[in-house]
């Protein structure tokens, strides 16, 4: 199975001024595309040649896992974002966040702290555990919560290529802007 770079759910300049078109062109057009290309090259002649990304995430190791997970993580991340998103979730997700974290503001602070404090490169995730409880976790490099039996709901990419052209080393500024672009409808649907 040949993996493809999926189309973005919005135009490359749609997230401006928070994420520039230039960043999207590098992040999506170069980094994400490279993960797709590397994965397609690595799986030839392996047991993963016809596997889905989810199967690769759950079973592969090394370069196949890293590239497969990065393809999946980035696609998921793009679909967590939208121009002019709502400022907060609604419905059952909002109630669950209130129950688990005390308030949306407390959740936002804890998630932001997880994103800003992750050492090196990786991802901050809001996940639903098998028992239905919500949790904020950090994953380094290509880490993905599917490997731990958790359902991803929301992610923030904190690899430097996600923000360096726009914010240089100011990860906290990028994370603050992240909250202005969340596609809460998509997150609620996953919940």
Report the alpha-carbon distance of residue 133 to residue 112 in Å, rounded.
19
Q: What is the pLDDT of residues 128-186, one digit of tens each?
A: 999 999 999 999 999 999 999 999 999 999 999 999 999 999 999 999 999 999 999 99
Residue 147 belongs to a domain with what CATH number? 3.55.40.20
Determine the structural domain holding residue 151 and report its residue range. Answer: 91-190
Tell which of 57, 78, 99 closes a domain. Answer: 78
The mean of the pLDDT values for the chain is: 97
Please tell me the total count of domains within the chain: 2
Token code pair at residue 75:
């696609």
pTM of the model: 0.97
C-alpha to C-alpha distance for 95 and 77, rounded to whole angstroms: 23
């Amino acid at each position: 199975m040949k993996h493809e770079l999926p189309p973005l759910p919005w135009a490359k300049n749609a997230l401006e001024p928070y994420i520039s078109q230039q960043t999207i062109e590098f992040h999506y057009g170069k980094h994400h595309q490279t993960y797709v290309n590397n994965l397609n090259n690595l799986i030839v002649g392996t047991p993963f040649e016809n596997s889905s990304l989810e199967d690769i995430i759950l079973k592969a190791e090394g370069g196949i896992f890293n590239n497969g997970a990065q393809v999946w993580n980035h696609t998921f991340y793009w679909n967590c974002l939208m121009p002019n998103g709502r400022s907060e979730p609604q419905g059952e997700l909002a109630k669950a966040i209130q129950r688990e974290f005390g308030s949306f503001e407390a959740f936002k602070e804890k998630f932001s702290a997880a994103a800003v404090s992750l050492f090196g490169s990786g991802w901050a995730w809001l996940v639903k555990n098998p028992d239905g409880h919500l949790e904020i976790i950090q994953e380094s490099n290509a880490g993905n919560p599917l490997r731990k039996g958790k359902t991803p709901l929301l992610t923030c990419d904190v690899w430097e290529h996600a923000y360096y052209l726009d914010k240089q080393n100011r990860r906290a500024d990028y994370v603050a802007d992240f909250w202005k672009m969340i596609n809460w409808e998509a997150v609620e649907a996953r919940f």
